[in-house]
Structure 1
């Protein structure tokens, strides 16, 4: 949603509201599962609040060992206490992780690879949305750096543990907002021109494209990967919206999902058997995405650029 022009909702906002109704964002489907995660280990980034925390509660109830990776350890500690209380499962661990700093990501991965003997699900849930222009510790535009590059690096560093623990899964939180952006290979950090909505859309488009590219590389490895649109959810991620966007938010809010509803598709992709690796999921089912999100040529270009920027080489 871009905002309001001359007192009227602009075209992008109208399209977003129309898409909201098309996706029936209020509904989560009738999916349910009694699947257990006893003996399984799950990492969830950004699980101190919102969708991530609700996902952690559900997966902890299923008996999993849950590692919540958060930047703010004070909030993480409070979240852990709530998750343990609500789930009845004490096997919930907190670890510090700042996705805007590759040093922090590498330190987190070193701890996990040293202390954990298995990893069955990596849920790349954390993110920033439409924030003012800023750069990460490594000089990347903040939304592209956190939402895409941070999780791209984290996945790379934990991939061997995921392989050894197969069958295992990677879930990347994307959004219908991928339709707002395009991959600007020549200005991926928006240094020439920055628009918060377009930069957010680019980062969410990158999540889907990298999911598709990774799924091809992991074929027959026992590691599967999924992109998720949780729906339009009432979370704290809207805190960077400007006045026009907040007014637009009030228009669509009656049709949005609760946080618990928004977590359902992530949970579905974590526990549901025999679903399509590389797919884009919404409302607990395989869904459609834009043509740009199905562009495998661009996916490979983005993959190469991401590896170059992070200084990594995937086998």
Structure 2
């Protein structure tokens, strides 16, 4: 019953807030400037006033979709940008497009596979020889699959790329650099899909032997995204000197959505443009520490509720995890990441 209510209410709540119509409504209430595109440079007409000069910004999944849009924004604002990507060819093509659009000459590519723990560890070893600080880490990359696939290390790909490797391990390895920054910040791109579920038992979350049901790509994604929200809450307690937030882009027309939903994406219309989905996340990148609620789950520059499973869109209890369950998740993440 809880699953049915949370899924139904997520959809109707999303119709009001996650679509392009919701973005227009939310933007009308902003109390600071908003750009019309991500490539507007510092000081140009229409700029939002953000300057990321002398900031080191790392973005995963930076060669397409929301990640590329955020990378374009960071480059236009003068950041030293590191694009964390899996495909060398796609990363190089995206870097060239971003350079042409922003005139930035300060963009580097770091190759890693977010679903492979050893790939992340090796890539970060090389990165740490270059950089002593990271001002902003954006955990955006990951896959959304309809059929179960596993990495060479045996981890289910959605869980590994979004949560285990792409958020937990990556951020753990970069803690020294984040702490070295004046205002270190982790921005985790989660999803409204996390409203559909609590974080389940470990076997189910990882789609391993002993899972409570057969593999379901949408549920695997929901579990990973709920895990990211819980992780940000824990990081806020564990590392108060680092601002950690989760956020989501609403229902945005990205290549990943096309691949996952096909014709069914019509139920998400009118969908946001790439920049409309990314703009609130870009704001989090540029906002000052005292402007952000660490541990919050953001949409369009505003922290949102994290549960919708009760009657009439109230919080309910179905999607909530106990502290014991969260502690178990954290312990299992550490073990699975090999830390």
- TM-score under structure 1 normalisation? 0.88
**Residue number in structure 2 paired with 1:20:** 14
Of 186, 191, 199, the residue aligned with 1:183 is 199
How far residue 20 of structure 1 moved from its aligned partner, in angstroms, is 1.7
Are the counterparts in 1 of residues 61 and 142 from structure 2 also a CA contact under 8 Å? yes
Mapped to 2, the partners of 1:38 and 1:157 lie a distance apart of 24
Are the counterparts in 2 of residues 209 and 296 from structure 1 also a CA contact under 8 Å? no
Of 198, 204, 209, the residue aligned with 2:230 is 209
Mapped to 2, the partners of 1:61 and 1:163 lie a distance apart of 25
Are the counterparts in 2 of residues 44 and 123 from structure 1 also a CA contact under 8 Å? yes
**Residue number in structure 2 paired with 1:224:** 243
Mapped to 1, the partners of 2:8 and 2:265 lie a distance apart of 12
- TM-score under structure 2 normalisation? 0.82
Note the aligned Cα RMSD (angstroms).
Answer: 2.0
Name the SS for the 2:151 alignment partner.
coil
The answer on 1:233 being equivalent to 2:278 is: no
How far residue 311 of structure 1 moved from its aligned partner, in angstroms, is 2.3
Mapped to 2, the partners of 1:79 and 1:186 lie a distance apart of 36
Are the counterparts in 2 of residues 181 and 199 from structure 1 also a CA contact under 8 Å? no
Q: Bigger shift: 69-78 or 177-186?
A: 177-186
Are the counterparts in 2 of residues 213 and 296 from structure 1 also a CA contact under 8 Å? no
Mapped to 2, the partners of 1:84 and 1:301 lie a distance apart of 44
**Residue number in structure 1 paired with 2:40:** none
Could you tell me which runs of 5 or more consecutive residues in structure 1 were left unpaired when the two chains were aligned.
Answer: 1-9
Deviation by residue 1:251-303 (Cα, 9 ceiling, x = unmatched) = 323x2111111111221111112211111100111111115367544332211
Deviation by residue 1:160-185 (Cα, 9 ceiling, x = unmatched) = 11111231100111011002233232
Mapped to 2, the partners of 1:283 and 1:138 lie a distance apart of 37
**Residue number in structure 1 paired with 2:182:** 166
Mapped to 2, the partners of 1:257 and 1:239 lie a distance apart of 13
Closer, same or farther in 2 for the Cα pair 1:11/1:300, shift >3 Å?
A: closer
How far residue 236 of structure 1 moved from its aligned partner, in angstroms, is 1.0
**Residue number in structure 1 paired with 2:299:** 282
Name the SS for the 1:309 alignment partner.
helix
Mapped to 2, the partners of 1:13 and 1:161 lie a distance apart of 39
Mapped to 1, the partners of 2:334 and 2:325 lie a distance apart of 14
Of 200, 204, 210, the residue aligned with 2:221 is 200
Closer, same or farther in 2 for the Cα pair 1:201/1:85, shift >3 Å?
A: same
Q: Bigger shift: 182-191 or 232-241?
A: 182-191
Deviation by residue 1:82-117 (Cα, 9 ceiling, x = unmatched) = 111111211111110110111110011101111113
Of 34, 57, 67, the residue aligned with 2:49 is 34
Closer, same or farther in 2 for the Cα pair 1:82/1:165, shift >3 Å?
A: same
Of 135, 140, 155, the residue aligned with 1:140 is 155
Mapped to 2, the partners of 1:186 and 1:55 lie a distance apart of 32
Name the SS for the 2:108 alignment partner.
strand
Mapped to 2, the partners of 1:178 and 1:93 lie a distance apart of 32
Q: How many residue pairs get matched? A: 297
Q: How does 1:300-311 map to 2 (within 5 A)?
A: 300-311=327-338
**Residue number in structure 2 paired with 1:117:** 132
Name the SS for the 1:233 alignment partner.
coil
